[in-house]
Amino acid sequence: MHEAAYRALGIDATYERVRVRPDELAAFIAGAEAEGYQGLNVTLPHKSAVIALIHEVTPTAARIGAVNTITIRGGALYGDNTDARGLVRSLEDAGFGAEGARVVVLGAGGAARAAVVGLSEAGAAEILVAARRPSAASKLAEALATDAPAPITGHGFDDLERVFAGADLLVQATSATLAGSDASSDVAIRFADGLPWDALAPSATVTDLVYQPLETTVLRAARARGHRAIDGLGMLIHQGALAFEGWLGVAAPVAVMRAALL
């Protein structure tokens, strides 16, 4: 995706995958600029640990507690989390604006956290987080509600009918719909079948952050019921496009990046 974008814009750069063990992280980060890197993407398990190793993080990354993008400029390393705005941009692309929306987020892991922060910063009126372990949902909601402009509350799956009522946007942020060995695994089917679809207004938009497969069981069920359904590829592309723009200071060729992934 990134190298396709460099080629399209005639930028002489490469995007490399580097495996870094936890005990090598500090040395790798400290030596990145000398190695010629202008920017880094950071993935598991380093997204939180890297915060202590860089000079500054954006308020968004600080709220999420995870950095996925580092820009290196003039000897300093700046950390951001582009997943949050990546999701918001992807929804906007598909015609959904978060301003004033009542949002339900399923899941309480890292992706759910980024979704809650992104949608809260984009002006959602209310965010309800629901997880199979209600304590995990409450913990996430409490941690993020403190400096958020709108209420963020945690719920269990036994409360889903009430949670779904009045929602404008349903964000599937669990890994339940992720393809295992079989794209329509039992877990993914049971998960989608177990949702209280009748409680969701027909006008509600549904997005699944999982993009493998592109048509998850939740998106298939949503489409069958007439909901607008938005896949997780847009978030992946836009988090990359935002990183690209931070590193290079030029608009990312989003269509080129999308084509490279399909």
Ligand X SMILES: NC(=O)c1ccc[n+]([C@@H]2O[C@H](COP(=O)([O-])OP(=O)(O)OC[C@H]3O[C@@H](n4cnc5c(N)ncnc54)[C@H](OP(=O)(O)O)[C@@H]3O)[C@@H](O)[C@H]2O)c1
- State the catalytic residues: 47
In contact, 205 and 169? CB cutoff 8 Å = yes
The one-letter code for the residue type at 138 is S
- CB of residue 133 to ligand X, shortest distance in Å: 5
Least CB distance to ligand X at residue 55 (A): 25
Shortest Cβ distance from residue 103 to ligand X (Å)? 16
C-alpha dihedral sign at 62, 163, 212, 133: positive
Binding-site ranges for ligand X (CB under 6 A): 83, 107-112, 131-133, 136, 173-176, 178, 187, 191, 209-211, 232, 235-236, 239
Q: Closer to ligand X by CB, 26 or 260: give it.
A: 260
Between residues 79 and 232, which has the closer beta carbon with respect to ligand X? 232
Return the number of the residue (70 or 235) whose C-beta is nearest ligand X: 235
Contact 223, 188 (CB under 8 A): no
Alpha-carbon Rg for the chain in angstroms: 19
Pairing of strands 152-156, 126-131: parallel
Task: Convert 162-204 into a string of H (helix), E (strand) and C (coil).
Answer: HHHCCCCEEEECCCCCCCCCCCCCHHHHHHHHCCCHHHCCCCC
DSSP 190-201: HHHHTS-GGGS-
Least gap, CB of 69 to ligand X (angstroms): 12
Cα(253)–Cα(244) distance, rounded to whole angstroms? 9
**Residue 237 and residue 235: Cα distance in Å, rounded?**
5
Are the C-beta atoms of residues 91 and 230 closer than 8 Å to each other? yes
Nearer to ligand X among residue 80 and residue 83 (C-beta): 83
Tokens 């998960």, located at residue: 191
* Nearer to ligand X among residue 60 and residue 174 (C-beta): 174
Minimum distance between the CB of residue 85 and ligand X, rounded to whole angstroms?
Answer: 11
